Structure formats: structure tokens, C-alpha cells
């Protein structure tokens, strides 16, 4: 949609149409809602002033980019948002040339912008191209942002950074004064005057520099941008993020400066949908819901693994005041919000700062506490150095509780929790284990609470797969549980939620199979595996994890070490590819991992 020649009235109507379409589709498909509604005018103004065909449009996380998708020839496809084989919920260059970069994790945008600005400078394209970055105030809590700003302020590459502040917490009491000053500070006159003044005082030594600096600081102190200005980046704001006239005017001025500029725009989360306006986490990411009432369309089913984790940790924390915990900006998603309410001095949301979460919990462990670092599997990737250097090297007893392990569905490639076993198994002093149902979750956390070394416990999004297998017994280090024995050559080895998949697959087979709940992938139950090798010659491994470096790899390494050569191992873990978005069952079907499909593969392999 070309909006370059549209009037303000026409652009306002386009914003209304965009919001209406976002609400219609997200209420049907689920997705990110409040942030993307709030960013609508910002994105329309971006497309009015800049050109996404040549200017890198970089959206931090990019969950707020739905309006961008609608403005870039994807209106007709928008019904397929987050659906299998449909539009991705994040920016994706393979989907459109207007999407500059894959995004899904936060706080990468300014670094990408600096890199793009360097490339533009090297190509000599500064007069025709400029990176345009949109970042939310939440993403500004991660350290990577300041690493990028530090270099940008020093190098002074032309870039426009739009800070989408939807918390309405900065400079609200003096908003009117700030708006007036922001417009003045963005004007060519002010910028030209500032440059001339800098040149003038250069001739009068340090005293003049000192006086000029103090005069400028006294002006900037009544705006919230002094930190950015001190870093060498021009600051404009706060501005009304829903006033198209003001936004377009300021974007034009920022574009002309040919310097790094931060435009601080204040927006309202959920703008245009009364039920969601001002809400914070509840309307950030939603499942299908009724537009009129705002009520979820999803019927309540089995208890989720996250709910079980919350209940189990609450019970442990009640009886052990040394248990503490942290999450990184996902208190509801990880189930830690109830613990934060019950024990506000012992459980913390540290914002989007996984590295800080891990290292701070390591210090608590050193002081004699028992930290539960509760993070999505995909997000622990961001704290990997801290796991190795700050936790395992010191052999500190931090528990890494990894929610959303396995396929997570509609969030897709950037969020699938498939790598944690592979990257944690290589770290010395780390112990890895997983529950398979509600009772074993309680038992796994009870074990973790008493364990004096670093450990990781993983569990799926949604509910565990129910089985009719033997009841779980308490966890014991490096001990598996044989759930079903038989006299055939076939042994199904399940890990975590893979036990349920092994059970369901076995139900499709005519022949009986043995089923082993591995429980620990590091250290393995070598005694049990040695015993099983004498009884079963064909082993099939079930785990919601990457095949490379995963559970099957650990078992093969054990067999090679022990020179057990007669056992054939087939792993039904994920192949070496990034896994697309979509309904989990459809994604699993595309990978050939539904129990009926696996049963057929077992029969073919036999």
C-alpha cells in the first residue's frame, strides 16, 4: 500500500482500518495484540516518511510489526497470520523484501541498525538510505542495547531510533513542556545553532566549553533524554505516538539531521480496543478471544505444565525459606507471578535481562540460597555464557527451570525450545533431568531443591501427555524408571514429555514394547542401559529436542564408550533444521512426529 501521497485524514482512516483488521485476525488466530495496536501510528508515519524498500526497517522483537505487514502487500494474506504455512508473527525476509531481518528475541535492533549504518557508509549510500529502528521501552532493559548505543554515540552514524514507550512512565508530569522543547530541538534552526555554537567555543578554550556545556545541560535536564545526549545521540521527545501530524513532522526532521537520533514516542498499549487499553501482560500475547467481551475462546483443558510447576514451587517455597527465584520479563508466562505475589522479597522479575538473571541467581546460590531461574528454553540461549562462566564453573546449585521446552507452536523458529539439551549437556557440572507428568514434576522439583550442583529441568508448553503407565517414583540422581517391561527386542526410551509420545506410539503397534522413562540425560543411568542392552536390541528414542547433541546422541555416546555394538538406536528427535510456526499438531505432522506416523516408521524399520 503506497501511502506517500495520502493526507493526514486519509492516514488516520488507514490507522483505523489497520486496527480493525488486526483485532479481527488476532481474535481469531491469537497473537501479539496490545503492543502492535499501540504502534500503529508510528508504523504508518514510518512508511509515510521513509522507504522500506531501501531504508532498513528494523523492528525489535518485531511482534509489534503487524501494521507493517499490512502496509507491505500482505493484507490479503493476513488471515493466515501465525497459521501453519501462513504469515509469520514476526518479521521474516523470506516472506517479504520489506522485512529487513528475522526477529523474535528482544534488544537486537539497535545493534542491527549500527551494522546496517556501517554498511551504508561503506557503500557510500548515506544520501539515499538510513536505518530506521523501532524498539520498545521493555527492550531497553537489556544490556545489548547499551552496547550498541555506546558505539553509535561514538561513531555518529546516521540512524533514526523510535523508542516506543507504552508504559507512560517517563516525563509524564512535564509532558507539555517536553513536547514544546522536543519540537524546538528537532528543528533545523536549533541543530544549526548548536553546531555553530560548538565551533564558536572551540576558539575560547576549556572555560568556554565548560560554560556552554552547563548551559546546554540546564536546558536538557527538563527532558528525559539527557542520558542519550550524554552518549552522543540526539534526543527528541517525548512526543505523542498517536499524533500523525507531529510524528511525520519529527520523522522528517530527524531524517534530515544525518546523525543518530532517538525519538521518544509515548503510546498506549491496546490503543483502539477499550478492553485492552492500559493492560500490561494480559493482552501482550493472546490466544483466540471474543472481540465483544474479551473473553478467551479457548476451552480450559488439562492442567498445564506451567501451572503444575507453580504449585510445586509454591509448596517447596512455603517449607524452605532459602528457595528464591527470578524470571526475565515473563512472570505470567513462566508461572512465577503467583510466587512473586506470595513472596515478594524472594522472587523477582529482572526485566528482559537473562544474562543478569543467571548471574544474580549464581551469587544468591553462593550465599547459601536455592535459586530457581525460571526461563523459557529459547530465552536461556541468551544467558549461555553466564550458565558456563558464572554458574557451572563455580559449581553453584542454581536450578534452571526451562518452560516451553519442545515445539511451542505459532511463535515458530525464534521460539522453539529445542536446543537446551544440546547446549547444556556439554557443560561440566551440569545435571539434566525432566518430568513426564504432574506427580513427577513435583518429585523433580523436590529433588532439585535438595541438589547441591547446577541442574536443569525442562517441561513443555501446555499439558503433559497423559499415559496409562506405572506411577512415578521419587527422583534419584542418574536413575531412570522402567515403566513397562517385555520380552521383545524393542525398547522405547522416553525423556520428559517424550515418554507420553513413546506411550502413544506404542498404542498403535500390534507388538508389545518395553518403555523406559530415562529421567536423566546427564548423567545417564548407565546400569539400567547396560541391563536393557542385554534384553532389547532395537532402541527408539523419544524427546522434544534437537537430534544433534540430544538424548539419542547421549545414548549413542554411552554405547560407544562401553563398546556395546549390537544395539541399534533410532532417534525421533528433531532433525537439523529450524522448525516453522503453526499449530503444534500440524507442525509435528509435517515433521512426521505424530504417534501414528512414528508407529508406521517403527514398523518399517523393523
Question: Could you give the residue numbers annotated as active site?
Answer: 269, 354, 382
Which secondary-structure segment (H or E) carries 161?
strand 159-165
- Would you list which residues are annotated within the binding site for Mg(2+)? 137, 166
Q: Is the peptide bond before 523 cis (omega within 30 degrees of 0)?
A: yes
Q: Quick one: DSSP state of residue 133?
A: E
- Would you list which residues are annotated within the binding site? 63, 104-106, 137-139, 166, 273, 354
Q: Is the peptide bond before 238 cis (omega within 30 degrees of 0)?
A: yes
What φ, ψ does residue 243 adopt, rounded to 5°? -100, 100
Residue pair 387/358 in contact (Cβ under 8 Å)? The answer is yes
- CA distances in angstroms from 272 to 23, 35, 41, 240, 531, listed in the order given: 9, 11, 11, 15, 64
Residue pair 566/535 in contact (Cβ under 8 Å)? The answer is no
101: Cα separation from own chain's centroid: 16
Find, among 131, 101, 71, the residue nearest to 255 by Cα. 131
Return the SS3 of 272: coil
Residue pair 1/75 in contact (Cβ under 8 Å)? The answer is yes
Find, among 561, 590, 585, 554, the residue nearest to 575 by Cα. 590
Return the SS3 of 21: helix
- Using alpha carbons only, how large is the chain's radius of gyration in Å? 27
- Cell digits of residue 507: 498404542
Residue pair 28/410 in contact (Cβ under 8 Å)? The answer is no
Residue pair 376/330 in contact (Cβ under 8 Å)? The answer is yes
> CA-based angle 4:5:8, to the nearest 5?
95
Strand 159-165 with 260-266, pairing: parallel
Q: For cell 497459521, what's the residue?
A: 83
- CA distances in angstroms from 554 to 401, 521, 551, 559, listed in the order given: 21, 7, 5, 9
Residue pair 428/520 in contact (Cβ under 8 Å)? The answer is no
Question: CB neighbours (10 Å) of residue 128?
Answer: 11
44: Cα separation from own chain's centroid: 25
Return the SS3 of 603: helix
H, E, C per residue of 407-465: CCCCCHHHCCECCHHHHHHCCCCCEEECCCCHHHHHHHHHHHHHCCCCEEEEEECCCCC
Question: CB neighbours (10 Å) of residue 561?
Answer: 9
- Would you list which residues are annotated within the binding site for thiamine diphosphate? 63, 104-106, 138-139, 166, 273, 354
Amino acid at each position: 500500500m503506497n501511502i506517500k501521497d495520502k493526507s493526514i485524514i486519509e492516514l488516520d482512516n488507514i490507522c483505523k482500518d489497520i486496527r480493525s483488521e488486526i483485532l479481527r485476525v488476532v481474535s481469531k488466530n491469537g497473537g501479539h495484540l496490545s503492543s502492535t495496536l499501540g504502534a500503529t501510528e508510528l508504523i504508518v508515519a514510518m512508511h509515510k516518511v521513509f522507504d522500506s524498500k531501501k531504508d532498513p526497517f528494523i523492528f525489535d522483537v518485531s511482534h509489534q510489526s503487524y501494521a507493517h505487514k499490512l502496509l507491505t502487500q500482505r493484507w490479503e494474506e493476513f488471515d493466515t497470520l501465525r497459521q501453519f504455512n501462513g504469515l509469520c508473527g514476526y518479521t521474516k525476509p523470506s516472506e517479504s523484501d520489506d522485512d529487513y531481518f528475522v526477529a523474535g528475541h528482544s534488544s537486537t535492533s539497535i545493534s542491527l541498525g549500527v551494522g546496517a549504518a556501517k554498511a551504508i557508509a561503506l557503500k557510500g549510500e548515506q544520501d539515499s538510505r538510513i536505518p530506521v529502528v523501532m524498539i520498545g521501552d521493555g527492550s531497553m532493559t537489556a544490556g545489548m542495547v547499551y552496547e550498541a548505543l555506546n558505539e553509535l554515540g561514538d561513531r555518529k552514524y546516521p540512524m533514526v531510533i523510535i523508542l516506543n514507550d507504552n508504559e507512560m512512565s517517563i516525563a509524564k508530569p512535564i509532558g507539555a513542556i517536553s513536547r514544546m522543547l522536543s519540537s524546538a530541538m528537532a528543528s533545523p534552526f536549533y541543530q544549526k545553532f548548536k553546531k555553530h555554537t560548538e565551533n564558536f567555543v572551540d576558539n575560547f578554550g576549556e572555560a568556554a566549553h565548560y560554560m556552554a556545556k552547563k548551559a546546554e545541560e540546564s536546558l536538557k535536564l527538563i527532558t528525559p533524554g539527557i542520558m542519550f545526549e550524554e552518549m552522543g545521540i540526539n534526543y527528541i521527545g517525548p512526543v505523542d505516538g498517536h499524533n500523525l501530524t507531529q510524528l511525520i513532522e519529527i520523522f522528517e526532521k530527524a531524517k534530515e539531521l544525518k546523525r543518530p537520533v532517538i525519538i521518544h514516542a509515548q503510546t498506549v498499549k491496546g490503543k483502539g480496543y477499550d478492553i485492552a487499553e492500559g493492560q500490561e501482560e494480559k493482552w501482550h500475547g493472546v490466544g483466540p478471544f471474543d472481540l465483544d467481551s474479551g473473553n478467551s475462546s479457548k476451552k480450559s483443558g488439562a492442567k498445564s505444565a506451567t501451572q503444575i510447576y507453580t504449585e510445586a514451587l509454591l509448596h517447596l517455597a512455603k517449607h524452605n525459606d532459602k528457595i528464591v527465584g527470578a524470571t526475565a520479563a515473563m512472570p505470567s508466562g513462566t508461572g512465577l507471578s503467583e510466587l512473586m505475589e506470595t513472596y515478594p522479597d524472594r522472587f523477582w522479575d529482572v526485566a528482559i535481562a537473562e544474562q543478569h538473571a543467571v548471574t544474580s541467581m549464581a551469587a544468591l546460590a553462593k550465599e547459601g540460597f536455592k535459586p530457581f531461574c525460571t526461563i523459557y528454553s529459547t530465552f536461556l540461549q541468551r544467558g549461555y555464557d553466564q550458565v558456563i562462566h558464572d554458574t557451572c564453573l563455580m559449581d553453584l546449585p542454581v536450578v534452571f527451570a526451562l518452560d516451553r521446552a519442545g515445539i511451542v507452536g505459532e511463535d515458530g523458529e525464534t521460539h522453539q525450545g529445542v536446543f537446551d539439551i544440546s547446549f547444556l549437556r556439554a557443560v561440566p557440572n551440569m545435571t539434566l533431568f525432566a518430568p513426564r507428568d504432574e506427580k513427577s514434576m513435583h518429585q523433580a522439583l523436590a529433588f532439585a531443591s535438595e541438589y547441591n550442583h547446577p541442574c536443569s529441568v525442562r517441561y513443555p508448553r501446555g499439558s503433559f501427555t497423559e499415559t496409562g503407565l506405572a506411577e512415578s517414583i521419587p527422583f534419584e540422581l542418574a536413575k531412570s524408571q522402567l515403566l513397562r517391561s517385555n520380552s521383545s527386542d524393542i525398547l522405547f526410551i522416553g525423556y520428559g514429555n517424550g515418554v507420553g509420545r513413546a506411550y502413544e506410539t506404542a498404542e498403535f503397534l500390534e507388538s508389545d514394547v518395553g518403555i523406559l522413562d530415562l529421567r536423566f540425560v546427564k548423567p545417564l543411568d548407565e546400569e539400567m542401559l547396560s541391563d536393557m542392552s542385554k534384553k532389547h536390541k532395537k532402541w527408539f528414542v523419544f524427546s522434544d529436542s534437537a537430534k544433534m547433541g540430544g538424548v539419542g546422541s547421549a545414548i549413542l555416546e554411552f554405547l560407544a564408550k562401553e563398546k556395546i555394538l549390537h544395539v541399534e538406536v533410532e532417534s525421533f528427535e528433531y532433525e537439523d533444521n529450524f522448525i516453522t510456526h503453526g499449530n503444534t499438531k500440524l507442525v509435528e505432522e509435517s515433521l512426521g512426529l505424530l504417534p501414528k506416523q512414528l508407529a508406521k516408521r517403527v514398523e518399517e524399520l523393523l
